[in-house]
Each structure stands twice: as C-alpha cells, then as structure tokens.
C-alpha cells in the first residue's frame, strides 16, 4: 500500500488520480503529523512525499526515513511557487535517505514508472515462487548473512539496521560478490531505472551503507567491504577484505 503526503490538495488529487487509474491502493494526507498517526498503526510499502514546501522539510524527511526503514520513499519537489530562504536541494534529500527524487514539472508517465519500479521490489516473494524460480532468500557471504524473508542483515554476528534501499543494495552485492558494477548498472538493478545524472544517488547510498558497516564493533573498517573501483564503479570485496583481516 502507498502513503501520499502532499500538502497542496489540488496537486495531491493529480497524484492520487494517477495511482487510482493504475489500481494502486493508497492513503493520502496533507500533513506530516497525520502521516505519523497512520504510520504508527500501518505499514506502507511506498511513501510519496512532497519536499521543499516548508522550512523544516529536510528534518521531517530524515525522521520519516529513520522511523520507516522498511518503506521505499519517493520525494516529489513542491509544485507551488513558495520561495523559502532556506531550501534544500536534491542532493540534500538523497543524503537524508530518500530512495528517489522527482523534480520539476510533473510527468505522469515517469512518475508511474517509478512507482511501479518501487512497488515491484516491495512485493514479498512466496515460497512457491522461490521454488519455481530458484530464488535464494537466505545467503551468507564472508561475514555477511542476509535473510530476505525477515529483511534482516547480520555482519559478523551483529544485526544491522538498514533502510529498504540500503538492504536492497547490499543484498544485490552479496548475490554477486567480488563482481564490479558501474553506477548505471546499480541504478538499473537496484533502483529499477537508468538515467544519466542520477549517479550521485548511488554514491550517497553507498556512503550511508559504508557508514553503517563501519559502526559494527566486532570488525574494523567494515565499510571497506564495499570497495570503490576507480573509473568503473563498486564491488563487494569479500575475499580481499577477509585476506587483509587474516594477515593483520
């Protein structure tokens, strides 16, 4: 199910009409306070939220991400002409943890394509489907253990708290250990789209993921598991990290 948080009722109607035409189930609210009440009793696979229309919007988004780590979050740039002295930009919102950002004039086709992409990744994989497609929902790579069924990650026995996008990114790396991926390849595989100019989205989430890996107390510099391959992209450097640790 989808939650829409958009304060401008006229444009909120445009968004919900698009979702209705595609038969998506949704709730729509016009304030963060009302959204918080709903989120306290219900889980939403996807949260679509207006940004840039209030001075404390960035702080509210950071709290939304922190309190709803299992939800995908699309930020929509405000469609009104309100001018604020303090206004965060696209990079700030990616740094705050949103999974996607749509700016400028509203494009219905692009919007719905992004929604479908995020919702596909939120649908739980049934045991029957796993058996037919040989999808492995529990994998162990070096010191990492990932369980798709419970959306859990353990590193060297310590549980990590990841957002939905960070989980998907690490899960993808673990399914292809030591393989190098360009930013565009990661955008296509993990985000579901491939557009020039969005590479910084990958950079931001890689940095956030490394930061959380580094907080694991039972390992030193665990963020180095995700290695930058200069001029190419990133890889999960399991064999290199383990060899380095054993020789230390």
Residues 223 and 236 sit within 8 Å (Cβ to Cβ)? no
Quote the DSSP letter at residue 225. G
Show Cβ contacts of residue 225 under 8 Å, excluding neighbours closer than 6 positions: 142, 144, 213, 236, 237, 238, 241
Q: Is the pLDDT of residue 228 over 90?
A: yes
Q: Tell me the whole-structure pTM to 2 decimals.
A: 0.67
Q: What is the pLDDT of residue 122?
A: 66
Q: What is the pLDDT of residue 48?
A: 93
Domains belonging to the chain, first-starting first, are: 2-120 (3.40.50.2300), 129-247 (1.10.10.10)
Q: What are 235's two structure tokens? A: 């890889």
Q: Is the pLDDT of residue 2 over 80?
A: yes
* Rounded-to-5 percentages of helix, strand, coil across the chain: 45, 20, 35
Between CA 114 and CA 138 the distance in angstroms is: 27
Show the DSSP H helices in 73-147 as ranges.
90-96, 108-120, 127-133
Quote the DSSP letter at residue 194. -
Q: What is the pLDDT of residue 135?
A: 56
Q: What is the pLDDT of residue 174?
A: 92
47: confidence class by pLDDT, cuts 50, 70, 90: very high
In Å, how far are 164, 169, 170 from 176, measured between CA atoms? 19, 11, 10
Show Cβ contacts of residue 227 under 8 Å, excluding neighbours closer than 6 positions: 234, 235, 236, 237, 240, 241
Residues 155-160 have a mean pLDDT of 90
Between CA 64 and CA 120 the distance in angstroms is: 21
Q: What is the pLDDT of residue 171?
A: 92
Q: What is the pLDDT of residue 81?
A: 47
Q: What are 114's two structure tokens? A: 């992004």
Q: Is the pLDDT of residue 128 over 50?
A: no
Q: What are 75's two structure tokens? A: 């930020």
**What's the pLDDT tens digit per position in 172-219?**
999 898 999 998 888 888 877 665 556 778 888 899 899 999 998 888
**In percent, how much of the chain has pLDDT > 70?**
84
């Amino acid at each position: 199910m989808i939650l829409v948080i958009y304060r401008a009722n006229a444009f909120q109607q445009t968004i919900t009409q698009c979702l209705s035409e595609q038969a998506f189930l949704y709730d729509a609210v016009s304030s963060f306070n009302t959204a918080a009440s709903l989120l306290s009793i219900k889980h939403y696979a996807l949260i679509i939220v207006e940004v840039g229309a209030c001075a404390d919007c960035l702080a509210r988004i950071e709290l939304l991400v922190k309190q709803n780590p299992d939800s995908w979050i699309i930020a929509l740039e405000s469609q009104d002409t309100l001018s604020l002295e303090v206004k965060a930009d696209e990079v700030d919102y990616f740094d705050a943890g949103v999974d996607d950002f749509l700016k400028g004039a509203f494009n219905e086709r692009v919007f719905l394509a992004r929604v479908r992409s995020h919702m596909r990744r939120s649908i739980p994989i049934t045991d029957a489907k796993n058996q037919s497609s040989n999808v492995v929902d529990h994998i162990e790579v070096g010191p990492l253990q990932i369980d798709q069924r419970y959306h859990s990650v353990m590193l060297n026995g310590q549980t990590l708290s990841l957002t939905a996008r960070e989980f998907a990114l690490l899960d993808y790396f673990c399914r292809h250990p030591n393989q190098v991926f360009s930013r565009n390849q990661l955008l296509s595989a993990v985000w579901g789209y491939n557009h020039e100019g969005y590479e910084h989205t990958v950079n931001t989430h890689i940095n956030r993921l490394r930061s959380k890996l580094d907080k694991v107390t039972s390992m030193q510099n665990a963020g180095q598991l995700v290695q930058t391959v200069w001029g190419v992209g990133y890889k999960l450097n399991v064999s290199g990290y383990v060899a380095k640790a054993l020789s230390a």
